[in-house]
A and B are shown apart, each in its own frame.
Chain A
Amino acid sequence: MRSSIVTTRPNLISVTIVLLLLIFLVIELQTGTFFASREVSSSPEIRQQSIMAVLTVAGNQSISVNSAKAIDGATILSGATIVTPNQVNARVGLGLLATLDIAPNTTVKPEFDQNRAIKVTLMQGCVILRTDKGIAGEVVTSGGSVRKTNSNEGGPLEVCFPQGAWPGLRIEQDKGVGLFYFARLAALGVIGGRLRTNMAVGLDDRGSNPGPSSP
């Protein structure tokens, strides 16, 4: 009897220790302490943005995002105020969920959330909002009017405020063609640059490694 107690007690202690360790590990892993602690110390807190949009602007042109100059490839966060200057179109792409084409001389604030809802506040100018099926999109103007996309069909929603036509070079309304517009402009830029270079010096030196003096 005594010997059995002596032999079972260490087993019980071991099992208890293992169980406690397991519980501790599960809790720590769930809270992410083990993995996050080093990151927190080296990297400051960052607000998690589940959805980030991509800005597309043709060529070397730039627009204003939150009053700062932004060029092609910029990250657009929900709630950013976007202003396009004269003769500069822009596009805000939310992956395959939606795209927002922005005409020149337009001020607009796109907002998007994890509930697959996109709200565009148009202060001035023209926009075309395209959403994928199942995405709720709406354009609200400063004048108070609200227009919504058909979430079953998607499709483009063109809105101008104050009422007017799309200024300057128009982005076609057919789905997808608008995207091509930017790629096409980029292509023309690439080809044009090459042809000009070829004509000028007979060599294509665009691909060479630029020096620090000419960024």
Chain B
Amino acid sequence: MSFATEKAAPLMDEGRDPGTAAFLLRTISVVAVLAILSLAAWWAGRSGLVSLLTIYAAKTNQVAAADAALRLSPNDPDAHFVRGAILESKSVAAAVEEYKQAVCKRPEDYVLWLDLARAQEFNGDVAGAIAAASQGVRLAPFYAKPHWLLGNIFVRAGRNDEGFRELRLAGASDDALLAAIIDLEWELSGGDADFVRRAVDPKSPESYKALANYFKKRNKVTDAIEMLRAAGPAAEQERRQYLQELISAQTIKEAALLWSIDHPASMVDQLIDPGFEHESNLDEPGFGWRRENKAGSLSLSLDQKDPNEGRFSLRVDFNGDSETGTPIISQFILVTPGAHYRFHFVARTESIVSGALPYVAVADVANHVILGRISPFPQMRTDWQEYLIDFKSGEKSSAVQVLLRREACGQSSCPIFGHLWLDNFSIEKL
């Protein structure tokens, strides 16, 4: 027992030191952790409080809140920014100083640079504004807004070449800005389409289309067509739509120019597919044969049986009611104003029954006046017969329309039945 006691004592003494050391170590560790946690809590709390004060300042327009935020965190760029925003209502110069502080604290933020540029320009420091916006451009070279702001500042400073260069970059980055850029250049140039085209310097289909849309709006038809031509296949839909608009507006000469982008050029005094030898889309606007009357009772087809010339003739089947005023089929022809023409074609009929018989006429596109026509087609069966229409084009008209239509009908319903074949159209200038 005593042995054990004697032996145990040193053992206990030896064990006390390590225990104390461990205790001390644990205590120090705990204190250190607590200190770190306290510091972290303080840091997080302070950051949160600074953010809270900053947002509060921004929402309530209280500069005191922004000041409090800056007392807690003098290097907080957001607090400087908000303080600048609040001061801007009273002193733009003071606001500029705060914005400068903000960009100093966070110099890699292009948004802060842009706001500094905006305030500096408002404060009359154009050079400073350009420098700040240029820094924004350097930080975010692929964003549209820095180029946009710098370009506009350049333009307002009278440095148009530099301004348009930056605006081009903005438009290349964001197509949605192109229209505004084009409009600005249009207004500054006093409506000079050539200048606008050079200033925009289009490179993509989108920029060509934006220019075309703008020129359309400004009634610069030829310029719009050139832009739609340059846009290539990407603008096929736009060309088709514009073609329809030009034809509706009876600007046929310009429509022909647009048509020639996607089709063989429509020549003066010439018909397209005069013998109905090729399949075509009759609903497509333009200078080929067009079906305007959409009545289901009318059927149009290329008939291989017994054509007058070539492989096909056009067969028209009448199977009921259809509107008499709307042409069944028609084609625009470019002509020389004030010239005498002879129009020739052949037709045959079979069992046509109607109170409003069909006929072929030539009309002036500008005023819809009938320049010449044939008598209504006979009702009985006939073989191919030749028809001639002599007419003089209008003095100011550059296009006529050949059309197959029906006589006017005095009744609300005027059905027609039977068959008609047309072939071998031609036009001759006398």
In the complex, per-residue mask of A175-215: 1 if CB is within 8 Å of any chain B CB, else 0: 01101100110111011101100000000101111111011
Main secondary structure of the interface of B (DSSP, over half): helix
| Cβ-based interface call for B290 (8 A) | no
Q: Is the CB of B155 within 8 A of A45?
A: no
Q: Is the CB of A191 within 8 A of B189?
A: no
In the complex, per-residue mask of B183-210: 1 if CB is within 8 Å of any chain A CB, else 0: 1100111101011001100000000000
Task: Collect the chain B residues with CB atoms within 8 Å of residue A195's CB.
Answer: 51, 55
Q: Is the CB of B179 within 8 A of A69?
A: yes
Task: Collect the chain A residues with CB atoms within 8 Å of residue B121's CB.
Answer: 54
A181 CB to nearest B CB, Å: 9
Nearest A residue (CB) for B133: A73
| Cβ-based interface call for A44 (8 A) | yes
Interface segment out of the listed B139-147, B352-360, B411-419: B139-147
Task: Collect the chain A residues with CB atoms within 8 Å of residue B174's CB.
Answer: 215
Q: Is the CB of A75 within 8 A of B139?
A: no
Task: Collect the chain B residues with CB atoms within 8 Å of residue A187's CB.
Answer: 58, 78, 81-82, 85
In angstroms, Cα B61 to Cα A177, docked, is 9
| Cβ-based interface call for B111 (8 A) | yes
CB < 8 Å neighbour of B177 from A69, A77, A179, A207 = A69
Task: Collect the chain B residues with CB atoms within 8 Å of residue A180's CB.
Answer: 61, 85-86, 88-89
In angstroms, Cα B183 to Cα A31, docked, is 31
B230 CB to nearest A CB, Å: 19
Task: Collect the chain A residues with CB atoms within 8 Å of residue B144's CB.
Answer: 215
CB < 8 Å neighbour of B156 from A52, A70, A186, A211 = A52
Interface segment out of the listed B102-110, B276-284, B329-337: B102-110
| Cβ-based interface call for B266 (8 A) | no
Tell me the number of A-to-B contacts counted with CB atoms below 8 Å: 151
Interface residues of B in 96-118 (CB under 8 A from A): 106-112, 114-115, 118
| Cβ-based interface call for B217 (8 A) | yes
In angstroms, Cα B141 to Cα A47, docked, is 30
CB < 8 Å neighbour of B182 from A49, A68, A77, A212 = A68
In angstroms, Cα B141 to Cα A208, docked, is 11
Task: Collect the chain A residues with CB atoms within 8 Å of residue B95's CB.
Answer: 183
| Cβ-based interface call for A143 (8 A) | no
Task: Collect the chain A residues with CB atoms within 8 Å of residue B324's CB.
Answer: none
Task: Collect the chain B residues with CB atoms within 8 Å of residue A80's CB.
Answer: 187
Q: Is the CB of A179 within 8 A of B108?
A: no
Interface size of A in residues (CB-CB distance below 8 Å): 51
The answer to whether residues A43 and B156 also contact, given A54-B121, A184-B61 and a CB cut-off of 8 A, is no
Task: Collect the chain B residues with CB atoms within 8 Å of residue A75's CB.
Answer: 152, 155-156, 184
In angstroms, Cα B174 to Cα A190, docked, is 21
| Cβ-based interface call for A139 (8 A) | no
| Cβ-based interface call for B180 (8 A) | yes
| Cβ-based interface call for A71 (8 A) | yes
Task: Collect the chain A residues with CB atoms within 8 Å of residue B188's CB.
Answer: 46-47, 49, 77
The answer to whether residues A45 and B195 also contact, given A71-B177, A180-B86, A212-B142 and a CB cut-off of 8 A, is yes
| Cβ-based interface call for A93 (8 A) | yes
In the complex, per-residue mask of B305-337: 1 if CB is within 8 Å of any chain A CB, else 0: 000000000000000000000000000000000
Q: Is the CB of A66 within 8 A of B58?
A: no
Q: Is the CB of B85 within 8 A of A183?
A: yes
Nearest B residue (CB) for A80: B187
Q: Is the CB of A54 within 8 A of B122?
A: yes
Task: Collect the chain A residues with CB atoms within 8 Å of residue B177's CB.
Answer: 69, 71
5 shortest interchain CB distances as A-B pairs: A68-B179, A207-B109, A207-B108, A183-B85, A180-B89
Given contacts A46-B188, A73-B118, 17 further A-B contacts (CB under 8 A): A43-B160, A44-B192, A44-B195, A44-B199, A69-B179, A74-B180, A75-B184, A95-B124, A180-B85, A183-B88, A183-B89, A184-B61, A188-B59, A190-B111, A191-B82, A195-B51, A206-B109
A sample of 28 inter-chain contacts (CB < 8 A) reads A44-B194, A47-B188, A54-B118, A62-B176, A68-B179, A69-B179, A71-B145, A71-B148, A73-B148, A75-B155, A75-B184, A77-B188, A80-B187, A93-B122, A95-B124, A180-B61, A183-B89, A184-B58, A184-B59, A187-B78, A187-B82, A188-B58, A188-B59, A190-B111, A207-B109, A207-B112, A210-B142, A215-B174
